Structure 1
Amino acid sequence: MPDFNDLTLLPFCVGLTLLGLIGSWFAWRRRGVAAGTRGVAWSLLPVSLYLTGLLELVWDVVRSTVSWITHLIFSPTVWSGVALFGVSVVLYVVSGVARGRSGNQKAQKAEKKPASPAGELTATGPAPASATTAKAAKPSKGKAKQQESSEFDEIEDILKRHGIN
């Protein structure tokens, strides 16, 4: 990108200001005082930026931004970094799915383990006597299904009495 010095910036800013003031005069005549005043305000900005030294700062920011964007777009190193970022996101999501599935498998294995009688040695040590009594106190799955089916039967009877099938 070209580098501007004071000899090229001053005439450029003065030219922009003059063009803006001419356009503001036409806007003032056609659309009124508010449009013309707004045009004058915008027209004075190039010269004010030059006189305060902010125009060079703005130019440096624009030049650096364009350089960074072109480096980002055309650099194979950057694109390999973007690809690695994508792979890491995919692996993170897959690990979350795998973690959820392994938790379900552990729960299923725990349900399939047979209950050990009191005092029998297990992999973690002897089973406490209270564990077997607590398991014996729980109703079996067959009884729970019978209760649910009897509840549904009662609901069906109520619906039939009211004429709802």
Structure 2
Amino acid sequence: MDQIAWLPLCAGVTGVGLVISFLLLRRKGAAAGLRAAAWSLLPMAAYLTGALPVLWKVGTALVGFVTGLVFSPTVWIGVALTGLAVVLFLVSGFLRGRGRAKADRRTGAPAEPAQRQAAPAQPRPGVAAPAPASATQPLPTRRPAPAKKAADDDFSDIEDILKRRGIS
């Protein structure tokens, strides 16, 4: 870190960036030029605020981690084992589902176990028992289908739908 002359390097990168941002301003407009100027000011700002040593340490740590990850055979063996474990989980789930489906076809049992029905609650003394749902709600009645109209009437289906909905 101390072996590099950071002030001239940061000033040079900022200067080149400002020249490029001026060219972008002329060719692509104000938005592109201002964005490039903002990016080009960051190296000099990092030097002046003292953030450059921190950024350097983070960068070298990331590069060391990535190179250790990419060039390490033990890491690649671990990645391969992870992939194999995922494949085995997926295959076992598929086989488990097929096994249940085959057993259900053989026995004629439903695929999912039937839910236990809760016993009706006993009414407390002095409280009227609620009426069953079927007694409180009338059964829906089905309207007879309207007679078919002539085949040349293109709007007959639409008219039928509107009549069923109560729209005339």
CA distance 1:93–1:43, change in 2 (3 Å): closer
Deviation by residue 1:54-85 (Cα, 9 ceiling, x = unmatched): 22222222222221111111111111111111
Partner of 2:77: 80
Q: 1:110 to 1:20 in 2, by over 3 A?
A: closer
TM-score by length of 1: 0.53
1:78 is paired with a residue whose SS is helix
Structure 1 unmatched ranges of 5 or more: 112-165
Q: Name stretches of at least 5 consecutive residues in structure 2 with no aligned partner.
A: 109-168
Q: Could you say if the C-alpha distance between residues 91 and 53 of structure 1 is closer, same or farther in structure 2, counting changes exceeding 3 Å? A: same
Higher helix share: 1
Considering only aligned residues, what root-mean-square deviation do their CA atoms show, in Å? 2.7
Q: How many percent identity over aligned positions? A: 47
Compare CA radii of gyration and give the structure with the larger one: 1
Separation (CA, whole Å) in 1 of partners of 2:99 and 2:46: 63
Aligned residues: 107
Q: 1:83 to 1:43 in 2, by over 3 A?
A: closer
Aligned position for 2:12: 15
Query: What is residue 100 of structure 1 aligned with on the other side?
Result: 97
Residue 54 (structure 1) aligns with = 51
Provide, for residues 81-101 of structure 1, a one-character-per-residue CA deviation record: whole Å limited to 9, x for no partner: 111111111111111121112
- Give the aligned residue type for 2:14: T
TM superposition score normalised by structure 2:
0.52
Q: Summarize deviations over 1:28-76 as a string: whole Å, max 9, x none.
A: 6x44983655554333221111111222222222222221111111111
1:1-165 mapped onto 2 (5 Å cutoff): 4-5=1-2, 8-24=5-21, 30-31=26-27, 34=30, 37-111=34-108
**Aligned residue type for 1:75:** S
CA distance in 2, matches of 1:37, 1:90: 50
